[in-house]
């Protein structure tokens, strides 16, 4: 590693952190890991570092391109903190619940858990008002369906409902188990009940709706959350959300768009809201309210 002059490392790291949501330490490590794989770069780096325009060197540009690609997939894959850290925080929560006896007295620990996931972390400064503003439109729900919920199930204390049945869906069995483990943990400390279910949005059909209705005693949910979901799915495959509304049994549907990219420091609200507006129009939904937060734009809709 010492073969790479500090000025090259410094310049590379500055460029990376200016664009991506990653620490300087992580950026440097990934850059160095990719550098040692590039034999041509390592062989000639000392010679080219003496040139004033070393950034135009083909191997340097090639290395930066590969580093940025690696960082992008690193950020996409690791949406939350390592599992061990999450488990440690859950042990803290368990101990706090045993001491305090009430879920609402552990909101700070819930915030720490929410901050461990890249999606819910962007909402940290808004959670106090987040559900208050949404429920001012929908009414306070007794049942909630949270599609592809991530870590959002940790936000149930912020919903400030005395009694609630929450269903969170995820596409992997291990994520579903984590949701169910959490609701097992809190069951004796509030009237909020919850369940995690396996639900692959890429393989939904008519039976998918019936399965969700069965969980809620054959009744539609009061509110369904599809946070940051529509734009992401449409980016991965155009038209994939076309029939999604048909399998969501809920009176109110809450959609949202990010203002800034999850991985890059770039504004994306225009393209995100365009995807949601298209979804609303194609499904003949009625837009009841649009609420803007620091990092997220909320769309509250109903079927016409």
Q: Do 66 and 120 lie in a common domain?
A: no
Helix (H) or strand (E) holding 42: helix 39-49
Half-sphere exposure of 121 (CA within 13 A, CB side): 13
Q: How far apart are CA 223 and CA 216, in angstroms?
A: 12
Residues 188, 208 contacting (CB under 8 angstroms): no
CB contact burial 106-121 (16+ within 10 A = b; e otherwise): beebbbebbbbbbbbb
What CA–CA distance (Å, rounded) separates 276 from 234?
Answer: 10
Same domain, 11 and 122: no
Q: What is the pLDDT of residues 141-164, one digit of tens each?
A: 999 999 999 999 999 999 999 899
Residues 73, 103: one domain? Answer: no
Reported as a single tens digit per residue, the pLDDT across 282-292 is: 999 999 999 99
Q: Encoding tokens for residue 12? A: 């590379």
The closest of 217, 213, 222, 218 to 300, measured between CA atoms, is: 222
How does pLDDT run across 176-228, given as a tens digit for each residue?
Answer: 999 999 999 999 999 999 999 998 877 777 688 999 999 999 999 999 999 99
Residues 104 and 240 in one domain: yes
The answer on pLDDT for 1 being more than 50 is: no
> Residue 70: which domain range?
6-77
Reported as a pLDDT band with limits 50, 70 and 90, residue 110 is: very high
Those residues whose C-beta lies under 8 Å from the C-beta of residue 206, and which sit 6 or more positions away, are: 246, 247
Same domain, 31 and 100: no
Q: Which residue has the tokens 């992580």?
A: 26
Same domain? For 216 and 243 the reply is yes
- Please report whether residue 180 resides in a domain: yes
Closest CA to 227 of 202, 266, 253, 250: 253
**pLDDT value, residue 20:** 83
Query: Of 60, 77, 94, which residue sits at a domain end?
Result: 77
Question: Residue 270's pLDDT band (boundaries 50, 70, 90)?
Answer: confident
50 plus 92 within the same structural domain = no
**Quick one: tokens of 94?**
């368990």
Based on the domain organization, do 67 and 89 belong to the same domain? no
- Considering only residues 80 and 25, tell me which one the structure prediction assigns the higher pLDDT: 25
Q: What is the sign, positive or negative, of the torsion defined by CA atoms of 232, 233, 237, 239?
A: negative
Tell me how far apart the 2 most distant CA atoms of the chain are, in Å.
72
Question: Looking at the 3D structure of the chain, how many domains does it have?
Answer: 2
Same-domain pairing of 155 and 253 = yes
Q: What is the CATH number of the domain that holds 217?
A: 3.40.50.150
Same domain, 104 and 175: yes
Residues 107 and 23 in one domain: no
Statement: residue 7 has pLDDT above 60: yes
In a domain, 1, yes or no: no
Which percentage of the chain shows pLDDT scores above 90?
53
Domain annotation covers residue 140: yes
Q: Does 31 lie in the same domain as 15?
A: yes
The pLDDT assigned to 193 comes to 96
8 Å CB contact between 34 and 63:
yes
The larger pLDDT score, comparing residue 38 to residue 268, is at 38
């Amino acid at each position: 590693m010492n073969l790479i002059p500090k000025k090259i490392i410094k310049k590379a790291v500055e460029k990376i952190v200016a664009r991506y949501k990653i620490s300087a330490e992580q950026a440097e490590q990934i850059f160095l890991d990719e550098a040692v794989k590039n034999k041509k770069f390592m062989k000639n780096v000392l010679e080219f570092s003496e040139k004033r325009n070393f950034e135009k060197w083909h191997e340097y540009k090639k290395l930066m391109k590969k580093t940025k690609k690696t960082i992008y997939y690193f950020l996409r894959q690791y949406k939350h903190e390592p599992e061990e850290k999450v488990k440690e925080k859950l042990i803290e929560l368990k101990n706090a619940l045993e001491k305090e006896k009430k879920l609402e007295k552990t909101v700070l620990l819930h915030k720490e858990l929410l901050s461990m996931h890249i999606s819910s972390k962007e909402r940290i400064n808004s959670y106090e008002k987040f559900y208050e503003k949404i429920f001012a439109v929908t009414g306070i729900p007794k049942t909630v369906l949270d599609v592809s919920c991530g870590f959002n199930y940790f936000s149930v204390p912020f919903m400030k409902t005395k009694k609630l049945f929450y269903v969170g869906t995820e596409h992997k069995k291990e994520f579903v188990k984590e949701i169910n483990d959490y609701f097992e943990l809190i069951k004796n400390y509030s009237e909020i009940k919850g369940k995690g279910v396996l639900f692959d949005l890429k393989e939904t059909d008519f039976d998918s709706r019936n399965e969700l209705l069965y969980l809620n005693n054959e009744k539609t949910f009061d509110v369904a959350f599809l946070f940051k979901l529509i734009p992401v799915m449409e980016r991965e495959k155009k038209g994939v959300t076309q029939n999604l509304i048909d399998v969501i049994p809920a009176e109110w549907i809450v959609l949202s768009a990010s203002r800034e990219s999850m991985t890059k420091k770039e504004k994306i609200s225009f393209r995100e809201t365009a995807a949601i507006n298209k979804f609303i129009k194609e499904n003949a939904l009625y837009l009841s309210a649009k609420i803007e937060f620091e990092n997220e734009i909320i769309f509250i809709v109903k079927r016409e």
